[in-house]
Structure 1
Amino acid sequence: MPDNSYIALLVGVAAAITWLLRALPFAGLAPMRNSELVKYLGLHMPLGVMVMLLIYTLRPGVAAGGLDVLWLGIAVLVTAGLHWWRAQALLSIVAGTAVYVVLMTLW
C-alpha cells in the first residue's frame, strides 16, 4: 500500500491539473473580450444552440410518425406558448415535458 506522502502528492498533482484546465479557457478568452467576433457569437450562439437541441430532440419522434408527431406538436406549442406568455424557461420546459409525458402515457 502506498504511503501517505505519495497519496498526498497524487492528490496535489490532480488538483493542480484540474485547476489549470478550468482556468485555461478564462485566461485564453481574456484578450478577446472586446473582439467583435466574440460579441457576435455571444449574441447569436444561444439561439443556434437551442435550435440544434430542438432538432435533435424532435427528430426521433417525427421519424416514428403516427400520434407521436401530434404529441410532440402539442408539447412544443405548450412550451412555446408558456415561454412567450411568462418568459420563464424552467416553467415552460417543465410544463412542455409534462404535457408530452402525459400524452405519451395516456395514448
Structure 2
Amino acid sequence: MKIEFFFLVVAVSAGITFFLRALPFLAFRGERKMPEKLIYLGKILPSAIMAVLIVYCLKETGSDFSHTGIANFLAVAVVAVSYKWKHNTFLSILLGTAVNMILIQVI
C-alpha cells in the first residue's frame, strides 16, 4: 500500500504543478492582455531571484573565507559573467555550481 500511495502523491503533485504552470496561458489567451503589473514582475523577478540566491550563497563566507569563501566568490563571479554573456539562468546556475564544487575540492 505504501508504494501506491507514493505514486498517487507524485501524480497529484505533478497534476497540480502542470495546472499551475498552464494557468497563465489559459488566463491570458486570445484577445486578453496581461496586466502591466505582471509584465513588470516578469521583467524584474529574474534579477531579484538571482540577487537573493547570491546573498543566500554568500551569507556564511565570513566564517571560513580561506576555504569556502574564495570558492563562493569565484562561483558568484562565474554566474554573473555567464548570465551577462548568455542571459540563460539555467546555464549560469549550472556553471556556478560546477565551479563552486570543483574549487571546494581543490582549495
Q: TM-score, normalised by structure 1?
A: 0.58
Deviation per residue, 1:10-60 (Å, 9 max, x gap)? x8xx97xx56x936x827x82784322112112212211221122122213
| Gap regions ≥5 residues in structure 1 | 1-10
Cα distance change on mapping 1:34 and 1:104 into 2, 3 Å? closer
1:41 aligns with: 41
Root-mean-square deviation over aligned CA pairs:
3.4
Structure 1 residues 63 and 48: alpha-carbon distance in aligned structure 2, compared to 1, 3 A threshold: same
Instruction: From the two aligned structures, give the one with the greater helix fraction.
Output: 1
Number of residue pairs the alignment of both structures matches = 89
What is residue 30 of structure 1 aligned with on the other side?
27
Q: Call closer, same or farther: CA 1:88–1:104 in 2, change over 3 Å.
A: same
Shift of 1:104: 1.0
Residue in 2 aligned with 1:59? Answer: 59
> Counterparts of 1:39 and 1:86 in 2: how far apart (Å)?
22
Alpha-carbon distance, 1:98 to partner: 1.9
> CA contact under 8 A between 2:78 and 2:92: conserved in structure 1?
yes
Structure-1 residue corresponding to 2:5: none
Q: Percent identity?
A: 28
Structure 2, gaps ≥5 residues long: 1-7
Q: Select the structure of larger CA radius of gyration.
A: 1
Structure 1 distance, partners of 2:103, 2:75, is 9
Q: TM-score, normalised by structure 2?
A: 0.58
Cα distance in structure 2, aligned partners of 1:40 and 1:47: 12
Q: Who is 1:69 aligned against?
A: 69
